[in-house]
Amino acid sequence: QVQLVESGGGLVQPGGSLRLSCAASGNRFVINNMGWFRQTTGKSRELVARIGVDGSMYYASSVKGRFSISRDNNKNLVYLQMNSLRAEDTAVYFCYADETARYWGQGTQVTVAS
């Protein structure tokens, strides 16, 4: 059973930056993809960014050029650097990790407001 612990959410003004972190533990096998989804009330989860164990990356078009994902394979850490934040980025952000199954973090709130 893989456990994921997120940190780094909070309140930030439009145009500001936040860095989310997610630490995975308890895996028995290599974790393949790690990444972040986000969800707002009444909407389904949206994939924000993903990074493979080989470093390959995917970004949603809405965040491309503003967000950057990275990972430390040795420590099973994944980061999401979020710059030029907008009100529409407000959501609960969920970290995930793909091992033998997909595992989820508890979610961290990101609020972008002046």
pLDDT, residue 86, reads 98
Q: Is 46 exposed, middle or buried, given 0-12, 13-18 or 19+ CB atoms closer than 10 A? A: middle
Mean pLDDT calculated for residue range 26-46: 93
- Strand 102-104 and strand 91-98: the pairing is antiparallel
CA distances from 70 to 11, 14, 39, 56, 78 (A): 22, 23, 21, 10, 6
pLDDT digits (tens, 9 = 90+) for 85-105: 999 999 999 999 999 999 999
Residues in the chain: 114
